[in-house]
Amino acid sequence: ALQGAITVAEKLLAEVGAPYYFKGTEILVGASIGIAPFPASGQDVETLMNHADIAMYRSKESGRHGYQCFTQEMRLETTRQRAAEQALERALHAGEFELFYQPRVATDGQRIAALEALLRWRDNGTLKSPHSFVPLLERTGLIGEVGDWVVASVCGQIKAWREAGCDVPLVSINLSASQLRDVGLSRRLRRILDSYDIRPDTIEFEITETLLLGKDETVKRVLQELRELGCSIAIDDFGAGYCSFAYLRDYRVDVIKIDRGFISGITAGSTEALLVGGIIRLARDLSLKVVIEGVERQEEVEVLLPCDPDEFQGYLFHRPMDAAAIRKLLCFAPDPPNSDVSQNWH
């Protein structure tokens, strides 16, 4: 029976997949098929449809235009994923998300030029990194709600630091691809900023370059609206993805953050050093600010300083820390006069 279903699926795919022409334009249509054979995949219509659905989604995930046969493993995976989704939703409402902040330091002194807000999940006492849950937030669409929470939290925090007498620098916030496809984003964010009385030029949004590449008109519009609001835009992980200069032309941005991949273990005269130097010169011509991410060692600083970037961010200077630690840093660590990174960070 399964072989029969597969034969039918293949025939359907061949039929549907054949190009056809509409007013002289070639049109390609794809299909994703899920197969749930009776009785192995279920005894009744409802269960079978359900399982065929799971297989169909699996087929969509593994690339368009294909088929997948239902397996019990798929059902377990789906159940696990649903449990993880529910845990995240619960975490949001139970207040288990937290923000850490990592300082960005100006290269012309130890001045803290900005803070990057980094999401954490305090799950049963362990602090989880966003790598372990942001992709799931994105897949489930929960990232929209969590993203709004992040912005509101940052605003509340800036207010609290100010009330404690701190001089608060720019704060940067990471945005995911799916958030930028949300046409309501800038309106909601403006409302949040207004309600905390935070000027938009206090906030920078970091966007990962890979997502900009699709020439998505919605993304373009949303980014433009955020800039019109008065927030600045940074390209995160510059050079790590499908690096293309097209987006520097297509999207107006203010800052590029050069990815740690270029930096770790960099030596004078290496290809990496030449690339970073070139990127920084290009950025200068385009009037963009340059931040170097993930600086861990003094030797890296020595190689990078002659390239003249604007800011460093990395464990060598500061690790991400909670709001209380940042308050101490902002309130009790005045700038030493005329300090220079190359002399002060040994």
What CA–CA distance (Å, rounded) separates 146 from 129?
Answer: 15
Residue 237 sits in the site that holds Mg ion (CB under 5 A) = yes
Task: Rule CB under 6 A: say whether 237 interacts with ligand C2E.
Answer: yes
Q: Residue 115: which of 309, 319, 310, 254 has the closest Cα?
A: 319
Query: Hey, what amino acid is at 332?
Result: F
Q: Which stretch binds Mg ion (CB under 5 A): 49-57, 72-80, 286-294, 337-345?
A: 286-294
Contacts of residue 239, defined as CB under 8 A and 6 or more positions apart, other chains included, come to 209, 258, 259, 261, 262, 275, 279
Give the one residue of 68, 174, 179, 232 binding Mg ion; rule: CB under 5 A.
174
Q: Which residue has the tokens 């800038």?
A: 186
User: Of Mg ion, ligand C2E, none, which one does residue 131 interact with (CB within 5 to 8 Å by kind)?
Assistant: ligand C2E
Q: Does 209 bind ligand C2E (CB under 6 A)?
A: no
Rounded least distance, CB 71 to ligand C2E, Å: 32
Regarding 186 and contact with ligand C2E (CB under 6 A), the answer is: no
Is 102 an interacting residue with respect to ligand C2E (CB under 6 A)?
A: yes
Which of 209, 236, 300, 310 binds ligand C2E (CB under 6 A)? It is: 236
Cβ atoms 177, 206 nearer than 8 A: no
Residue closer to Mg ion (CB basis): 131 or 249: 131
How many whole angstroms separate alpha carbon 293 and alpha carbon 314? 6
Which of 166/321 has CB closer to ligand C2E? 321
CB of 62 to ligand C2E, least distance (A): 25
Q: How far apart are CA 200 and CA 229, in angstroms?
A: 6
CA pair distance 59, 64, nearest whole angstrom: 7
Contact indicator for 258, 293 with CB cutoff of 8 Å = yes
Is residue 232 a contact point for ligand C2E (CB under 6 A)?
no
Which residues here bind Mg ion, judged by CB under 5 A? 174, 206, 236-237, 293
Which residues here bind ligand C2E, judged by CB under 6 A? 102, 118-119, 129-131, 134, 143, 150, 174-176, 206, 236-237, 260, 294-296, 313-315, 320
